[in-house]
Chain A
Amino acid sequence: MNTFTYRKIKNASLYVLVCLFAGLTAVPLFAILGQVLIKGWRQLIVSDFFVKSTPTTLDALIALRSGEIIPGGIANGIVGTILMVLMATFIAIPIGIFAGIYLAEYKTSKYASIIRFLTDLLQGVPSIVVGVVAFIWVVIPLKSYSALAGSAALTVMMLPLIIRSTEETMKMIPNTMKEAGLALGTSYPIVILRVMLPSAFGGIFTGVLLAVSRVIGETAPLMLTALGSTMIQWDVTRPNSAVSLLIWEFYNDPNLQSLVWSASLFLLIFVLTLNIIAKQIAKKWRIQ
């Protein structure tokens, strides 16, 4: 009787503890969202925020003294982020998809298993190390920090995600689909590109979105490659800014600290929306 009660209590307490601590995990998410939202919304609704570049410390100081909202915005960061992420995406998509197809098509080959292993390894490389390497590969030869160097780092970070999602979805497509295409007298490249690839679109697209959302908030590798810029910079061979780099700058400049929250809010909204869209597509994809 006694042990029975003890067992029941133990069972109930584990249940309560699991639910409690699992629930507590949600706290940081909402705490972060809440803090960023409360401190950042005011600046975000100022129209200047998206069209003007970073203010100088002095301008900010003057505005602060007179109790006004800090002028300027993060347009230079937005332009830099868009430039670098777009370039990285355009390079990473074809390479990643073709490499993913290779892994799916040559499941058992020795070379494919080496590439698969290296892809996993690459995915685990810390972003700061990727930054160091992009510095050696691009910044040193070009003798300048640049958006190009930044996008090289981001490309390396995106590739493993795109490769593995392509491989996984291509593997899920039944082999009979390939056979059906070939049985119609269609050539192998056409079957892969026009029958298999469209069937895998949802999965690959999810992979691309997740890859973009992974790199869009990256700061460390960009510090070593893109460096930063106080004005809008379209020249990809010159140093450039990024939203994440601006957050780092604002954080280090006491006069600009109220901008830190709005830039973070902007970045968070962007990244989390991408994440949710990607997951939604992935869910739909699995049902079909």
Chain B
Amino acid sequence: MSDKAFKTLLWFAASIILIITGGMLYSLTSGAIPAFKQFGFFEFLSSSEWNPTEGSEKYGALAFIIGTIITSILGILFCLPFSLPVALFIGEYFKGKKIASLLGTIVDLLAGIPSIVYGLWGFYALRPIIMSLGLSPQGFGILTASPVLGIMIIPYAASLSAEFIRMVPNDLKEGAYSMGATRAEVIQHIILPISGSGIFSSYILALGRALGETMAVTMLIGNANGIPNSIFDTGNTMASIIANQFGEAYGLKLSSLIAVGLLLFLITAIINFIGKLIIKRNNL
């Protein structure tokens, strides 16, 4: 094979990525256009009606956008008290030790568990607890879905944060120790401020994960199409409404679901972009 043919082959393989992402955006947009045309783009975003009755069909994404944001942010809040200690454990306290790599493996395995198995576990282990606490009669809802979501994103938030914590230069830490600082003070005044924006970016990326998580959320959130009144309420996320209703959808409803998919695609792309941008500015 000539150099030129080989280089063309490499170029072509790389270009497939361009074709896939470009094609994705194109197909989602053209699939969504009927819905946008019928209801208007901004009306689709700002309406929370989801009415499939023939004749008076009307679809809007607001309820699912709100559901997604509440569930994901709550998920991050549940994730935080575990992932931050994990990051400190691996990146600082037991840096390079066997026990740190053991915890690293456990956290990695957590990332390996399929979403649907998390959903099952939430259904059989967590839902009864929510019910017995009287938080929700059926045990479904945002409060059931988000802790499971929180656990699911621990690996993503923790491993990247640990990387940033590990990278804090030793001489800075030694400087603080030499002045009599305790480890807690070194963490508080040196490590966290320096790795702060890096850690922040890892939570942004974890948020990107949470926004699109489908199966576990679908199984636990209760699948109600209105705007949730509180975190104890049932709801739907953008991903879960697609998973639930795509099967029997056609026509305007299909187009509306594709439109929800397009919005989800754009939101996660923007969130991931912001996260990567912050990381780049921190040179990792």
Direct contact of A and B (CB under 8 A): yes
Q: Which residues of A contact B (CB under 8 A)?
A: 7-8, 10-11, 14-15, 17-22, 24-26, 28-29, 31-32, 35-36, 94-99, 101-103, 105, 111-112, 114-115, 118-122, 124-129, 131-133, 135-137, 156, 159-160, 163, 187-189, 192, 213, 216-220, 223-224, 227, 244, 247-248, 251, 260-261, 264, 267-268, 271-272, 274-276, 279
Of chain B, the residue at the smallest CB distance from A275 is: B112
The listed residue (A15, A97, A124, A224) touching B93 by CB distance below 8 A is A15
Extra inter-chain contacts (9) besides given A19-B89, A126-B212, CB under 8 Å: A29-B113, A99-B14, A101-B10, A129-B24, A133-B28, A189-B5, A220-B115, A264-B116, A275-B108
Contact A128 B185 (CB under 8 A): no
CA distance A271 to B187 in the complex (A): 36
Q: List 7 A-B contacts (CB under 8 A).
A: A18-B85, A101-B10, A159-B17, A219-B116, A219-B215, A251-B123, A267-B117
Could you tell me the distance in whole angstroms from the C-beta of B83 to the nearest C-beta in chain A?
8
Point out which of B2, B7, B31, B113 has the most chain A C-beta atoms below 10 A from its C-beta: B113
CB-defined contacts of B81 to chain A, threshold 8 Å: 21
CA distance A267 to B121 in the complex (A): 14
Contact A29 B109 (CB under 8 A): yes
Q: Given contacts A99-B16, A223-B247, are A124 and B272 in contact (CB under 8 A)?
A: yes
Within 241-284 of B, Cβ neighbours of A (below 8 Å) are at 242-243, 246-247, 257-258, 261, 264-265, 268-269, 271-273, 276
Could you tell me the distance in whole angstroms from the C-beta of A48 to the nearest C-beta in chain B?
22
Of chain B, the residue at the smallest CB distance from A28 is: B151
CA distance A102 to B17 in the complex (A): 12
The listed residue (B84, B184, B239) touching A11 by CB distance below 8 A is B184
Contact B243 A120 (CB under 8 A): no
Contact A10 B182 (CB under 8 A): yes
Closest 6 CB pairs of A and B: A126-B212, A217-B114, A98-B13, A189-B6, A21-B85, A22-B89
Q: Given contacts A28-B151, A99-B16, A128-B264, are A137 and B23 in contact (CB under 8 A)?
A: yes
Could you tell me the distance in whole angstroms from the C-beta of B267 to the nearest C-beta in chain A?
9
CB-defined contacts of B13 to chain A, threshold 8 Å: 94-99, 101-102
Contact B261 A128 (CB under 8 A): yes
Q: Given contacts A126-B264, A189-B3, are A11 and B14 in contact (CB under 8 A)?
A: no
Of chain A, the residue at the smallest CB distance from B272 is: A124
Of chain B, the residue at the smallest CB distance from A94 is: B13
Q: Given contacts A122-B21, A128-B264, A268-B117, are A18 and B10 in contact (CB under 8 A)?
A: no
CA distance A8 to B215 in the complex (A): 46
The listed residue (A21, A125, A136, A251) touching B27 by CB distance below 8 A is A136
The listed residue (B6, B18, B183) touching A114 by CB distance below 8 A is B18
The listed residue (A22, A217, A251) touching B103 by CB distance below 8 A is A22
Contact A244 B121 (CB under 8 A): no
Could you tell me the distance in whole angstroms from the C-beta of B131 to the nearest C-beta in chain A?
17
The listed residue (B10, B114, B265, B273) touching A219 by CB distance below 8 A is B114
Contact A14 B105 (CB under 8 A): no
The listed residue (B5, B109, B214, B273) touching A220 by CB distance below 8 A is B214
Contact B182 A126 (CB under 8 A): no
Contact B17 A119 (CB under 8 A): yes
Contact A128 B212 (CB under 8 A): yes
Residue B200 CB within 8 A of the other chain? no
Could you tell me the distance in whole angstroms from the C-beta of A31 to the nearest C-beta in chain B?
7
Contact B211 A251 (CB under 8 A): no
Residue B172 CB within 8 A of the other chain? no
Contact B242 A128 (CB under 8 A): yes
CB-defined contacts of B106 to chain A, threshold 8 Å: 25-26, 29
Residue B142 CB within 8 A of the other chain? no
CB-defined contacts of A105 to chain B, threshold 8 Å: 10
CA distance A244 to B120 in the complex (A): 12
